């Protein structure tokens, strides 16, 4: 269930209320005339079934409420209301299948922003990969996979392609194009230092056994990237973030980048090339899978109608 709050000018009051009253998935409708001070207007709130939120937002935007006032949605974890439960039952579809485009765009925009925090996490993940290569430690490499923040921009690219959001695509591409070179550059400097100290040699890169899966690229790598990308996008669409950890552990994006730097630094160019190819395969596979999920996503309304028939 979602809590909807609308701030609208007084002249839009009746139209907004009519829209909310016309939807079966709306309950607990409240009006606070003149409650809004900046911008001046009314505050109108309601509890809304997730399945019908897209349609409501679309109608409210048609009134230009988002420019003349505001529209906010908040997820309700606990709702003790017979009316709200009845409204959710009457709404067509299932909450888990409901895709809120504005929510998804907002989440991916936030997670794809190039920031100091994003670059730091990406750098730390690459550095952990370097340590994993030196120690031939699977645990360390898996830790780097979980730490890497690159899925956010990749998901944003998928959303941008489907929704044709050029600004979102530019934001996500900037995070990847700028973030990865910085992280890989820092990792390269650290690798040079480790080699100078005798901690890393060509032999230690070419004869790893526990983490060699990172640069072993093939058709299965692309399949894994597709499956992981699909699972990740489904987690974002359904607001079930619990599946994202499994996605992070399944793909070799940031670890392939880190391994490529380490291998290139010590002169293992064949391993570096394979790791770079692994990186490209995973990046492309995740974005393609994200697009496919958004285009072919389950239609909650259709499922509900079939069940009713």
Mean pLDDT lowest among 128-137, 233-242, 256-265, 281-290: 233-242
Q: Is the pLDDT assigned to residue 61 strictly greater than 80? A: yes
pLDDT band for 117, please (50, 70, 90 cuts): very high
Q: Is the pLDDT assigned to residue 91 strictly greater than 80? A: no
Mean pLDDT lowest among 56-70, 91-105, 139-153, 282-296: 91-105
CB-based contact 102:40 (threshold 8 Å): no
Q: Could you give the CA distance from residue 125 to residue 105 in angstroms, rounded to a whole number?
A: 26
Q: Is the pLDDT assigned to residue 250 strictly greater than 80? A: no
Percent of the chain scored above 70 by pLDDT? 90
Q: Could you give the CA distance from residue 270 to residue 268 in angstroms, rounded to a whole number?
A: 6
Residue-level pLDDT at 221:
87
Residues with Cβ within 8 Å of 104's Cβ and at least 6 positions away in sequence, in order, are 159, 236, 237
Mean pLDDT lowest among 10-24, 187-201, 277-291: 187-201
| 53-64: average pLDDT | 90
Q: Is the pLDDT assigned to residue 181 strictly greater than 90? A: yes
Residue appearing with tokens 């607990």:
28
Q: Could you give the CA distance from residue 71 to residue 73 in angstroms, rounded to a whole number?
A: 7
> Roughly how many angstroms between the first and final C-alpha of the chain, as a whole number?
25
Q: Could you give the CA distance from residue 112 to residue 174 in angstroms, rounded to a whole number?
A: 9
Neighbouring-strand partners of residue 48: 2, 26
Residue 58 is encoded by which pair of tokens? 């679309």
Domain ranges of the chain: 2-91, 103-295
Structure-model confidence comparison of residues 176 and 207, the more confident one: 176
Residue-level pLDDT at 309:
34
Give which of 158, 152, 180, 157 is closest to 260, Cα–Cα. 180
Q: Could you give the CA distance from residue 93 to residue 85 in angstroms, rounded to a whole number?
A: 14
Listed in sequence order, the DSSP H helices in the chain are 13-21, 53-62, 65-68, 82-90, 101-111, 116-135, 138-147, 151-163, 166-196, 202-206, 219-237, 244-250, 253-266, 269-295, 300-308
Tens-place pLDDT, residues 9-52? 999 999 999 999 988 889 999 999 999 999 999 999 999 988 88
Most confidently modeled range among 55-64, 95-104, 205-214: 55-64
Q: Is the pLDDT assigned to residue 200 strictly greater than 60? A: yes
State how far the alpha carbon of 201 is from the alpha carbons of 3, 108, 263, in Å.
58, 40, 10
Q: Is the pLDDT assigned to residue 302 strictly greater than 50? A: no
Residue 1 is encoded by which pair of tokens? 């269930």
pLDDT band for 248, please (50, 70, 90 cuts): low
Q: Is 3.50.30.10 the CATH classification of the domain at 2-91?
A: no
């Amino acid at each position: 269930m979602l809590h909807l709050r609308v701030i609208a000018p007084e002249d839009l009051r009746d139209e907004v209320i009519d829209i909310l009253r016309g939807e079966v998935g709306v309950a607990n409708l409240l009006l606070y005339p003149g409650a809004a001070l900046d911008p001046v207007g009314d505050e109108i709130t309601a509890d809304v079934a997730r399945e019908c939120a897209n349609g409501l937002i679309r109608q409210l935007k048609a009134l230009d409420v988002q420019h003349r006032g505001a529209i906010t949605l908040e997820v309700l974890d606990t709702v003790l209301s017979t009316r709200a439960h009845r409204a959710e039952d009457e709404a067509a579809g299932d909450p888990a299948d409901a895709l809120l485009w504005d929510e998804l765009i907002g989440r991916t925009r936030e997670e794809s922003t190039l920031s100091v925090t994003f670059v730091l996490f990406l750098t730390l993940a690459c550095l952990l990969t370097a340590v994993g290569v030196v120690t031939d430690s699977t645990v360390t490499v898996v830790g780097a996979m979980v730490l890497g923040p690159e899925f956010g921009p990749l998901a944003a690219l998928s959303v941008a392609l489907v929704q044709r959001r050029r600004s979102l695509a530019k934001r996500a591409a900037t995070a990847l194009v700028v973030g990865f070179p910085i992280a890989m550059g820092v990792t390269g400097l650290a690798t040079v230092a480790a080699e100078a100290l005798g901690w890393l040699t060509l032999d230690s890169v070419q004869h790893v056994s526990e983490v060699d899966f990172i640069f072993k690229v093939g058709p299965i790598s692309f399949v894994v990237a597709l499956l992981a990308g699909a699972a990740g996008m489904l987690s974002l669409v359904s607001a079930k973030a619990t599946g994202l950890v499994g996605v992070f552990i399944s793909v070799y994006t940031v670890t392939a980048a880190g391994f490529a730097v380490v291998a290139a630094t010590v002169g293992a160019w064949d391993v570096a090339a394979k790791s770079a190819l692994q990186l490209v395969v995973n990046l492309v596979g995740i974005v393609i899978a994200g697009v496919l999920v958004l285009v072919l996503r389950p239609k909650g309304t259709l499922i509900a109608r079939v069940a009713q028939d």
